[in-house]
Structure 1
Amino acid sequence: MHRLLLALPFALLPLAAQAHEHDHDHEHGSLAAHEHGVARLNAALDGKTLELELESPAMNLVGFEHAARSDADKAKVAGVRASLEQPLALFDLPAQAGCRVSAQELESPLFGDHDHDKADDHAHEHEHSDIHAHYQLECATPSALESLDLAPLFKQFPATQKIQVQLIGPNGQQGAELTPSSPRLSF
């Protein structure tokens, strides 16, 4: 399934105005992809498995991109990480679908869980920091997944002005730009 998400940007290339290549050696994507106020969400439903992959500039979620030095900055980063560790509170999925988190992975230089072996990676960390969250959900009744509502995510992180969504579901593939005033996408 993870391969499906990696292929998603290429499958939806005609739908995406700004497709970018995902490079595992450079977790931030391309510089052009880093736009404050804008996040990306890839979603794929395959059988009972729903995968969600959120990528956002740290500015949208934390309010800054530099390494947390002060106690206030460290508390803000810890609070954002705690929120991201609760995906069912951020992505409003129908309760009838019976989705539960089976796996999740959070990555960001701000979380202090990356080794930066290359000097240029370390320098880049101070220019732009992104937060990448990957969730795998198992849904007991996937047919009940009629929509994905991002209103709670927009409410939790108000600096996020729009989310570019690419979705593969039972009705095919689609792309959309969701905003706080239009936060829902049908599967």
Structure 2
Amino acid sequence: MRRLLLALPFALLPLAVAHAHDEHDHDHDHGTLGAHEHGVAKLNAVLDGNTLELELDSPAMNVVGFEHAAASDADKAKVAAARQQLEQPLKLFGLAQAAGCAVDSQELESPLFGDAAHADDDDDGDAHEHAHGHQHADVHAHYQFTCATPGKLTQLDLGPLFQTFPQTQKVNVQLIGPNGQKGVETTPGKAVVVF
């Protein structure tokens, strides 16, 4: 299954190239192709048999409201609250109850979740911070579910994700499911993806 998830970017490469070309047309000044855009997250979703994998990649700004290391008690509380919410994927992603999906495993990664010593030793992060005047921090979440009745899993509702993290304005979804592969742009008003 991990192999299938890793193949997803290659399978959707033509879509990514087309999207990058569009981004480039609208984003001449920044020199990037939307790799880290506040308000925008990416979600890879793969349904293979009874296994569902979701991989969320988002700027920390969308999740906690900032990207710097949490120093104040208020910032530390925001990071802890966000992590706790991310640790409950069944509340973030609307999956049909009839599908009987249960979380098998999950991994959360972000410089904001790590210890201060590790974050300070990150040479790439320091170089990035000095080059751009501020540091970009991302949140990566990987979830694996086993669904007892995967045929009942006909859609994925991102409405709860948008409600939980309201600074997220758009999620670009790359999906591989029983009906093939597709790329979908979701927003709070159009949050449902059909498998």
TM-score, normalised with respect to structure 1: 0.89
1:134 is matched with 142
Question: Hey, what's the Cα distance between the residues in 2 that align with 1:134 and 1:18?
Answer: 24
Cα contact 2:125–2:135 (8 A) shared by 1: no
Cα contact 1:18–1:33 (8 A) shared by 2: no
Unaligned runs of 5+ in 1: 20-29
Q: Give the Å deviation of 1:31.
A: 7.5
- Describe the superposition over 1:133-163 as per-residue Cα deviations: whole angstroms up to 9, x where unpaired: 0000000000001000000000000100000
Question: What SS is found at the alignment partner of 2:13?
Answer: coil
Question: Hey, what's the Cα distance between the residues in 2 that align with 1:31 and 1:132?
Answer: 19
Unaligned runs of 5+ in 2: 22-31
Give the one of 152, 156, 175 matched to 1:167.
175
Cα contact 2:20–2:33 (8 A) shared by 1: no
Give the number of equivalent residue pairs: 177
1:54 is matched with 56
Using the aligned pairs only, state the percent identity: 69
Question: What SS is found at the alignment partner of 2:15?
Answer: coil
Q: Give the Å deviation of 1:122.
A: 3.8
TM-score, normalised with respect to structure 2: 0.85
Whichever residue aligns with residue 78 of structure 1, its letter is A
Question: Hey, what's the Cα distance between the residues in 2 that align with 1:95 and 1:72?
Answer: 36
| Greater helix fraction, Structure 1 or Structure 2 | 2
Which structure 2 residues correspond to residues 17-36 of structure 1 after superposition, within 5 A? 17-18=19-20, 32-36=34-38
Question: Hey, what's the Cα distance between the residues in 2 that align with 1:127 and 1:3?
Answer: 31
Give the one of 120, 125, 131 matched to 2:124.
120
Residues 112 and 31 (structure 1), Cα distance of their counterparts in 2 relative to 1, 3 Å cut: farther
